[in-house]
Structure 1
Amino acid sequence: MDLRGLGVTYNAANLFIDENVKKGLGEKIAIYYRDKRISYKALQEKVNRVGNMLRKLGYKMEDRILLVCHDIPEFVYSFFGAMKIGVVPIPVNTMMQPSDYEYFLNNSRAKGLMIHEDIWANIQQRKDRFLFLEHIIVIKESANNLSEDVFDFHSLLDQADKELENALTNKDDSAFWLFSSGSTGDPKGVIHLHHDMEYALNTYAKQVLEISEEDRCLSASKLFFAYGLGGGMYFPLGAGASTVLVKERPDPETIFQTIEKYKPTIFFGVPTLYGMMIDYALKTGKRFDLSSLRVCVSAGEALPPSLYYKWKDMYQVDILDGIGSTEALHIFISNRIKDIKIGSSGKVVPGFDAKIVDENGAELPINEIGDLVIRGDCIAHGYWNLHDQNKQKFIGEWFHTGDKYYKDEEGYFWYCGRSDDMLKVGGVWVSPIEVENCLLQHQDVFEVAVIGVEKKDRLVVPKAFVVLKQGVDKTKEKEEELKLFVKQQLAPYKYPRIIEFIDELPKTATGKIQRYKLREILKVNEVSY
């Protein structure tokens, strides 16, 4: 249907939900969650019910609703149910503080809040501070009674009709937002359009992962992250495959048990989790059956080569390291099946373009470090209400990722850190990632983060914050041993002049190391070298 002024109508819920039923997959399992087996037909009905219940409450196209929900089927129902009627769902992190939810609600001007009961219990005292909010819909999993000023999700769902027509959206309508975790400053509302998920599916999922109806996906990264949203939801649904949802936080024991129970074929993890799983298996001596996996994926930060080799040796399955972003929706540079260059981020995903540029935007030659810029049709429409940042980051078709990279002669891209993380030591660029990967090869090092610190003479030197493995003593001798280890492996000017042992590195919920917090520690302590 093409109505005057609308263009060709397009709604993402039709592709990812309705089309599977039309293709005869209605009885196939779409979602595995605990002991539930939810078919594509049952999923379609629940999505339609959510859309109808929102319409009954008065929601119209382009209204926004904040979604604060754990990785359970209700997340999927709500996400696609809202989009099917043109309402814009905004999934956000379920592990934030009350002040963060106040920010999300007021910044987005969301009309509705769909929230899990345990999280609502922690923030309901702030209700009067939510300036634009009209409806609170609580997802209950207990017998507790709700106050009269909120709605019960399941009660509304049961009363809603199971038939629903798509709204007259088009491919360039706002479909959903994601808030970027960001390394500094307030989170940014990233606006994605209805066609973006299909583009990411057809590029990365189908051409790199070779996903098919036979696959079963498990994502340790949660659905409110761009990485988890693809791996745990719209990739499997878009391929007519199945997904396994896990409400709990992804600790090693939970993930190992989930893989053994549900036998996924594709696993999406992050480097920190792979390291924890390896360490857990070695320490406990437990043997886990991961034979169902045909491929593993890593993103969020660069995968250290040492982790790849240990995982491959233990479980005989490859990890495809890649780089994506909230703005790009998913991975745009990746290693791929039968084409892995250990330590690199891989090659450009078909459907994207990437280049390395200098500070003036001129493309740099092979093997020269510069700024990574990309283009592809699932890159975000822009940031919400951030005019200056939009001008800085979205330049015509190109998006400035904020990452430092170089490309080698064979077309593989090598991560060198964030633009504000690169260190210039003695007039030469030093990649903190290279130093970190070197230290991680030492038998006593569990985790490490390298930043630059200014000495009294204003010159910058590398400093390593090191988490030692359990049972290793934090001694001056160990510091000197690690410095010598780096000198023997890398060019001598790259070794960390200062090493500080720390119990735990500050990280985002996605597992990214927050180097800016390490810099803040230095400022607070007024350290001078």
Structure 2
Amino acid sequence: MDISCERLPEIFNIAAYFIEGSLSRGHSERIAFYYRDETYTYRTVRSYVRRAATLLSELGLDREDRIAILLPDTPEFIFAFWGAIWAGAVPVPINTACSIDDIQYIIQNCRAKILLTSQEWHEKLTLGTEFLRDVLLVDGETPFLSRLDQTSEEATPSRTSPCEPAFWLYTSGSTGRPKGVVHMHSSMVVSAQRYGKDIVGLHENDITYSIAKMPFAYGLGNTLYMTMAVGAASVLSDAANAFDIIADLHRYQPTVLFGVPSTYASILAVKEMAPLETPRLRLCLSAAEQLPKTIWTRWLQAYGYEICEGIGTTELLHIFLSNRPGECQPGSSGFPVPGYEVEILDDQGYPVKVGEIGTLQVTGKSLMLGYWNRIEETRKVIYGNSIRTGDQYQCDAEGFFWFMGRKDDLFKVNGQWTSPFEIEEVLLQHESLLDVAIVPQTDAQEVLPYVVAFVTLKAGFTASSELEDGIRRFAKSRLPHFKAPKAIHFLDKLPRTPTGKIHRKALGTKLALVRAL
């Protein structure tokens, strides 16, 4: 099925499409969301969304105006997000894992007219912006839900177009200021069909649990629109660690787990203290970062589930490369999702040969309109209907795609291009290591690069020179000598971006500081 703006109705509102569609399919009394001790049916969601649209309109939020939503995954987030789109306005979710500086930048950069947040966040922010007119709070004397309860449901869906902006998502900003990615009303339809239905096989009896939160493109699909597209239910969670996540999984018994590599590793690390018991679980998935084969194998051995790894980008909204249930190739990103054309190109823009490394280019109908107010950066990555992601990949003879890192992740050691993931995969097989990140360092003459490892330890292990020597010997026994780490640094926790990826730039800064001392 071809899904594009041209094949959708000329008047098309994605909020009404999913919400009214769920009721027309007989899902009105089905649970849409679990949140703590509360449940919200599709009928209830529709009522609150219409009330939110009415309230936002009364507050002067006009068509195409932006509302910034700075919240964890909560019902208020959902009502405001869909309510804004219903009214023809544009919601801009902000990840609460972002720095204060980046949050304030996003609010100013997107020219938000309204901010929805909590008292705690409001007190942390300095909101001196010429655009912001109102701040709505989810707690305090007049919480957002109470205001909705006193508002009518009279709002009708705005007569928007499938090709006009519906919502923005900001990139994590690990290499600079976050960029506002502008998506159309049609983008969610594409991702819900191509990945949610065609790959994951979501259906109305599913309950999904996502580690990634809704301001993150991966989490937005997992928790919000993909489930609503089929009448399924999602869990809204504020779990902060592996024990909380395991407690949630036991409590809600989801059928689909949308995970990230670090969470799978953390759950495995505590399995003796808190074993996972999820008899209803049918599928485990992973994205956001490369899933080490070691973690994949341990998870299968411990719990009997494959982990279907995939890759997506904020610019394409969700997953475009994915392994298939029952056909996983551990360590790979799988095959192209139906509806997406994926190529690996050299620096001149020509397809590389099988097994060669090049830059990933993806063509698909969920492609962003562009980066807000960054025309030059948009033109550098978009080529017609395609985008060059900057990810370095190779494709094997069977058609599996293998992630080699970002272009600036690769480095030369002993004259050979080296991917950090190859070394990390080996080190993670050591019994003491929970998390690993590899970065290059140069010698005092700035000539000869060598490998440096930053590691975190599992419970029961303590950093020592003896353990460092043991890890280094382990690496040398399994890797070419020049790929074994010359230096190993123990950390309590690896730095990560707001979307959960290892922050290699921050580790490079740590190395520079150590060297300066």
Instruction: Return the match for 1:234 from 216, 221, 225.
Output: 225
- 1:287-302 matches, within 5 Å, as 287-302=275-290
Decide whether the 8 Å contact of 1:269 with 1:299 is kept in 2.
yes
Name the counterpart of 2:37.
35
Decide whether the 8 Å contact of 1:45 with 1:163 is kept in 2.
no
Matched, 1:492 2:492: no
Local SS of the residue matching 2:315:
coil
Gaps of 5+ in 1: 1-5, 147-151
Local SS of the residue matching 1:76:
helix
- 1:15-54 matches, within 5 Å, as 15-54=17-56
Name the counterpart of 2:495.
506
Instruction: Return the match for 2:253 from 231, 255, 263.
Output: 263
Decide whether the 8 Å contact of 1:179 with 1:190 is kept in 2.
yes
Cα deviation per residue 1:38-76 (whole Å; 9 max; x = unaligned)?
A: 111111111000001111112211011101122111111
Write the distance in 1 (CA, Å) between the matches of 2:173 and 2:30: 38
Distance of aligned partners of 1:20 and 1:319 in 2 relative to their CA distance in 1, 3 Å threshold: same
TM-score of the two chains, using structure 1 as the length reference: 0.93
Name the counterpart of 1:75.
77
Measure how far apart 1:499 and its partner are: 2.2
Write the distance in 2 (CA, Å) between the matches of 1:440 and 1:18: 47
Write the distance in 2 (CA, Å) between the matches of 1:7 and 1:505: 47
Write the distance in 2 (CA, Å) between the matches of 1:81 and 1:118: 24
Local SS of the residue matching 2:354:
coil
Local SS of the residue matching 2:209:
strand
Matched, 1:352 2:348: no
Measure how far apart 1:7 and its partner are: 7.4
Cα deviation per residue 1:214-268 (whole Å; 9 max; x = unaligned)?
A: 111111111111111111111111111111111x244112111111111110011
Distance of aligned partners of 1:295 and 1:250 in 2 relative to their CA distance in 1, 3 Å threshold: farther
Name the counterpart of 1:3.
none
Write the distance in 2 (CA, Å) between the matches of 1:200 and 1:413: 20
Decide whether the 8 Å contact of 1:11 with 1:169 is kept in 2.
yes
Write the distance in 1 (CA, Å) between the matches of 2:460 and 2:235: 36
Question: Between the two proteins, what is the percent identity of the paired residues?
Answer: 38
Local SS of the residue matching 1:205:
helix
Q: After TM superposition, what 4+ stretches of structure 1 lie above 6 angstroms from structure 2?
A: none
2:59 maps to a residue whose letter is L
Distance of aligned partners of 1:358 and 1:18 in 2 relative to their CA distance in 1, 3 Å threshold: same
Distance of aligned partners of 1:438 and 1:100 in 2 relative to their CA distance in 1, 3 Å threshold: same
Local SS of the residue matching 1:489:
coil
Instruction: Return the match for 1:321 from 309, 325, 329.
Output: 309
Local SS of the residue matching 1:424:
strand
Write the distance in 1 (CA, Å) between the matches of 2:408 and 2:516: 20
Local SS of the residue matching 1:195:
helix
Write the distance in 2 (CA, Å) between the matches of 1:493 and 1:184: 28
2:439 maps to a residue whose letter is I
Decide whether the 8 Å contact of 1:219 with 1:268 is kept in 2.
yes
Write the distance in 1 (CA, Å) between the matches of 2:347 and 2:305: 40
Name the counterpart of 2:207.
216
1:264 maps to a residue whose letter is P
- 1:455-466 matches, within 5 Å, as 455-457=443-445, 458-466=447-455
- 1:165-184 matches, within 5 Å, as 165-184=156-175
- 1:63-462 matches, within 5 Å, as 63-123=65-125, 126-127=126-127, 129-140=128-139, 144-145=140-141, 152-246=143-237, 248-282=238-272, 284=273, 286-457=274-445, 458-462=447-451
Decide whether the 8 Å contact of 1:291 with 1:315 is kept in 2.
no
Write the distance in 2 (CA, Å) between the matches of 1:319 and 1:309: 9
Write the distance in 2 (CA, Å) between the matches of 1:378 and 1:70: 25
Decide whether the 8 Å contact of 2:76 with 2:144 is kept in 1.
no
Write the distance in 1 (CA, Å) between the matches of 2:381 and 2:46: 37
Write the distance in 2 (CA, Å) between the matches of 1:515 and 1:95: 17
Local SS of the residue matching 1:281:
coil
Cα deviation per residue 1:352-390 (whole Å; 9 max; x = unaligned)?
A: 111111112111011111111111111211111112211
Write the distance in 1 (CA, Å) between the matches of 2:243 and 2:471: 31
1:485 maps to a residue whose letter is F
Decide whether the 8 Å contact of 1:216 with 1:266 is kept in 2.
yes
Measure how far apart 1:527 and its partner are: 5.1
Gaps of 5+ in 2: 1-7
Write the distance in 1 (CA, Å) between the matches of 2:250 and 2:335: 32
Measure how far apart 1:195 and its partner are: 0.4
